[in-house]
Structure 1
């Protein structure tokens, strides 16, 4: 939470929005946003997630990274190389949307593989039990 309020102000200004503009975009009161920027209050988790998604940043970075300091992440390099405006339209960047879809797909694949591993372990255990039973009946 070290950078939350300063990041909100930075992201809003970098997007060219006034507090009134952000209230319309996120369907919140201007005074509520003002309180967030001043560190007087914190949004509920649903709104927090919505804010992070709107600005195209992770929840972790919104809380823990000083977004006003330039970094050279692969996504930012991609944006610079392809003349995609930095921070202003990240939530609309096809690359960022695709990245999120790839991460979601990866998570689904991992879950499916875990299920297959569990099924193989069960099948292996059943085979070992059959082999053991056959060896016992052969004696």
Structure 2
């Protein structure tokens, strides 16, 4: 059976951020940690080796595939900082128009640095993603 690689771990979020190579990315990661914690209301947890997630939800697809994932999160990658929000949310697309300099993938929004984005829009993206996922995957 397929096993998810990205699972919640007991690894230290602070230790992970302190070991980010780039001093600027490290600084931005601590800012994001505070912002995501305050806005989401969830404690930061490591998911897999490199994703800092907040809250969690259980999903189950029509195919039968199911698992757990963080409601929102981020990861200071070598190239860019990845921000994780709910994919498939139309409100997300509207908010991203006002977000600032970024690129997108399926579930990820990539930024170079915090200075490139509107922090108020980031807060709205965090809240909207949590709301969307809670409505899409209600807790049983």
TM-score interval (norm. to shorter)? under 0.3
Scaled by the length of structure 1, the TM-score of the pair is 0.27
- Richer in strand (by share): 2
Scaled by the length of structure 2, the TM-score of the pair is 0.27
Structure with the greater alpha carbon radius of gyration = 1
